[in-house]
Amino acid sequence: MTSKQRFKATIDGKQYIIVSDHSNEHILAVVDIINQQLNQLKELDPGLSKEDRSILMAINAVSDQLVKEDQIASLEEDLDTLTSPGNTRETDTPRVQPKVPFERPEN
- Tell me the C-alpha distance between 46 and 10, whole Å: 20
Q: What are phi and psi of 55, to 5 degrees?
A: -65, -45
Confidence of residue 38 (pLDDT cuts 50, 70, 90): very high
Q: Which of 5-9, 20-24, 62-66, 84-88 has the lowest mean pLDDT?
A: 84-88
- Tell me the C-alpha distance between 21 and 27, whole Å: 10
- Tell me the C-alpha distance between 88 and 95, whole Å: 14
Mean pLDDT of the chain: 88
pTM for the whole thing? 0.68
pLDDT, position 87? 73
- H-run or E-run covering 67: helix 50-83
